[in-house]
Chain A
């Protein structure tokens, strides 16, 4: 005989009437229920029991219920979390984002007083379990391993197309560094790029990717003469005053015009001395190289940097695109960014487009270009050539 495990719910609310309403409603749904009217009580219960659902009031007297989230995230179960609060929509949205960042499964946030019907509706479709939560993180690679990987050509260049959202025509390709580390497997780019920046290897890494990208671009431009390549340039590389001339020489070496290259600048690293960077990037632009502000909306002083530098393109960070279907505020920021880009006369590219629905929504909002799995994942040069052949004739003039 199979016995279904009883689901257990904890409601954390300093208001006993609301606690009773929730526990009664959930008991009727077959839950074993507990209630806690203080943070300390809740902490103690979470340490002792495994909960399937936690209904959490964001205001617990003089304490904030949100401070319980880290403990929930560290608990051995993966409970569905529902926020209840009388605070405004922005606080609710921020709490959901924070909990999601912690890896928690958040079903939603309800305005108090909370009725059982609304709770049941949220629990009808709980978020899927996140298996990756609390998985042990592998040891990060060392600078020595990165240096070896560069010397032994284990860092390779992948290519991802950028296309028009209206008809899927290719308008360019972004070159992306990838590191397959035996036996670790793929090392996430944000991990090894940060390591490269910290260890000074970023200059070698950038040179490697630039060389590969320009060589590949030269090859695909035989059949797709208008398709350029974009390469990420770390702000730390901008300290080298010879960089514009070096890049110009590389373009000449590969028989490419400056317009074939777009330098994508991200401000993940603070530009300690912005004047040389301003000079260097302006020199690149004067030479005819495109300048793209990567990951717009993240990092340091993005608006000020937009003002200072002659960008030709602005890329909306994927984190906004990823949440635009569920987070209306993310969508408002996207719309404002598109409007800003248009005001400044910049091309605007949406990164991380994964679905047709998002692509259509972006297009309706005035975004012309998209990049993401919806159109093509990062791929080898060989795969890119095949991809381009499939899209033959689709290159924008």
Chain B
């Protein structure tokens, strides 16, 4: 996969990660390229490229929806976080996927604080920018990757 995917890049300015999630991201990498390598092995370079492009194209809207849902909280926010967790892991953005999954998991007992949500948003910006940069890199073949749940 060599085509550079520019879709969605302009609005994905990398922001510094707040300290709120620094302790929760564990060892999950910002971008695990093996996930994308595996995806390319299975649906081809073009397919994987399209998947990444779709994620990046949708990222600005995802960010908008997340920001809007911060105010309404409740199930709307939960849905957005749920969607983000799934989509991020699908394209190898395991750190943001992990943080989103953790917020979703603990949502019923404790709705996330504003600081934590801001941290998630910053991490999503950073992750998407990293993914956009990656698009030009060469995929490597791997056989199995464990994603956060």
Contacts and interface: CB of A to CB of B under 8 A. Distances in A.
Interface in A334-367: none
Contact of A17 (B38, B54, B82, B101): B54
Interface in A1-59: 14-18, 20-21, 24-25, 28, 59
A17 B55 contact: yes
B90 A18 contact: yes
B55 A28 contact: no
Contact of A24 (B50, B85, B101): B50
Interface stretch (A112-120, A126-134, A144-152, A204-212): A112-120
A42 B60 CA distance: 26
Nearest to B147: A113
Contact of B54 (A20, A59, A111): A20
Contacts of A225: none
Interface stretch (B4-12, B18-26, B39-47, B114-122): B39-47
Which of B42, B85, B87 gathers the greatest number of chain A CB atoms within 10 Å?
B42
A61 B104 CA distance: 13
Nearest to A117: B42
A391 interface: no
A62 interface: yes
B86 A86 contact: yes
B33 to A, nearest CB: 15
Contact of A61 (B42, B43, B79, B149): B79
Nearest to B89: A113
Contacts of B86: 15, 17-18, 86, 112-113
B63 interface: no
Contact of A86 (B39, B50, B79, B85): B85
Contacts of B38: 115
A86 B149 contact: yes
B1 interface: no
B75 A21 contact: no
Contact of B51 (A21, A59, A86): A21
A25 B86 CA distance: 17
Which of B42, B44, B86 gathers the greatest number of chain A CB atoms within 10 Å?
B86
Nearest to B74: A62
Contacts of A111: 149
Nearest to B52: A17
Contacts of A16: 54, 58, 87
Which of B58, B89, B90, B147 gathers the greatest number of chain A CB atoms within 10 Å?
B90
B99 interface: no
Nearest to A116: B42
Given A17-B58, A24-B50, A113-B86, A62 B42 contact: no
B83 A14 contact: yes
Contacts of B76: 62
Interface string A233-255: 00000000000000000000000
28 contacts: A15-B86, A15-B87, A15-B90, A16-B54, A16-B87, A17-B58, A17-B90, A17-B91, A18-B86, A18-B90, A20-B50, A21-B47, A21-B51, A24-B50, A25-B43, A28-B43, A28-B44, A59-B82, A61-B83, A62-B76, A86-B82, A86-B85, A112-B86, A112-B90, A113-B90, A113-B147, A115-B39, A116-B39
Given A62-B79, A86-B149, 9 more contacts: A15-B87, A17-B87, A21-B47, A24-B44, A59-B82, A113-B86, A113-B89, A115-B38, A117-B42
User: Which A-B residue pairs are the 10 nearest by beta carbons?
Assistant: A113-B90, A116-B42, A24-B47, A24-B43, A17-B87, A113-B89, A15-B86, A17-B90, A61-B79, A112-B86
